[in-house]
A and B are shown apart, each in its own frame.
Chain A
């Protein structure tokens, strides 16, 4: 939250909870962002995102939204939207902050000195952005491709025989990945073959959101680590010819975060008490 404040980005979180429930939650969790109460789901309905799969007579779930996140710029225009089918998955704070600051495709400041331009071929750096992998909240695998002048990398779709720039995750039990975040492409026609391709302009940053579903936590000897492995693929072309497709493997061993559970019961990982059971009873009663 301090990082958001320092970056000049405001954070609002809206739910159908009553203000007193939000107050208890904020106290228990030391919340410093703004929590908004929409007990009649009026704001949720005005956005058109009321969860219509839950009938009105079904207490107490009725009134929740299809959960999601909007990022807006200083003018108030929506610049990004994050909606997943599964509410268990949400974008992590690093991802949201990069979106709010329009820095998703910015090259890392501490990039290694071996730039593609100096060695004449594409250089790739792959990093895991984050210090651990929580359940349901995404972190990102960030691949930075340094591309020499005169060469290009490509996004999908590519014609047969040409490899699109991609991050591929191995099939690892408990590790989930979502749609890659990629910069826009522009059509580029190769003078050699006359083919039109979707090219990235200059150096390329791809970000693959990943998370875990807690099953992974039992797969390692030490119980709480998970290895995320895979490879990046790319193929460069200059104006007249394409180079051979290339790939580079990566592997990161990261700590898997413990699932955070509500406070309505005992158990490891429970959040601090916020009088949840009483608030839940009130929710059951409030529309009777």
Chain B
């Protein structure tokens, strides 16, 4: 799978120690390196619209074990997958 996904290396150096990606966002690394390896073509985006959201059971910021479907208690929800809170 990995070798079927193209890495987006468009963009290049800009002022100072920074680089710029294809959409003009500034960044400390060259496009396509380190944490900046982002897809250009198709890439997996998980379960489709219409499917039940797969179970998520994980520890939260207070140390509590959370089962998302149980915890939301029948309410609609927004579930964000992001890269990191640290960097």
Chain A interfacial positions (CB closer than 8 Å to B): 4, 8-17, 19, 21-23, 25-26, 31, 34-38, 43-44, 46-49, 51-55, 58, 61, 64-81, 83, 85-90, 96-97, 99-101, 135-136, 173-174, 176, 213-215, 259, 262, 264, 274, 276, 279-280, 283
Interface size of B as a range: 35 or more
> Which secondary structure characterizes the binding site on chain B?
loop
A53-B7, A264-B87 known; A213-B24 Cβ under 8 A: yes
Chain B interfacial positions (CB closer than 8 Å to A): 1-2, 5, 7-8, 21-27, 34-35, 37-40, 43-54, 56-63, 66, 68-69, 71-72, 74-87
A53-B7, A66-B43, A78-B49 known; A86-B25 Cβ under 8 A: yes
A173 to B53, CA, bound (A): 38
> 28 A-B pairs, CB-CB below 8 angstroms?
A10-B77, A14-B56, A14-B58, A15-B84, A23-B61, A23-B62, A36-B58, A36-B59, A36-B68, A37-B61, A48-B46, A61-B34, A61-B37, A66-B45, A66-B81, A70-B53, A72-B76, A78-B47, A78-B51, A78-B53, A79-B76, A85-B39, A88-B23, A89-B23, A90-B82, A213-B24, A274-B85, A276-B87
A87 to B7, CA, bound (A): 13
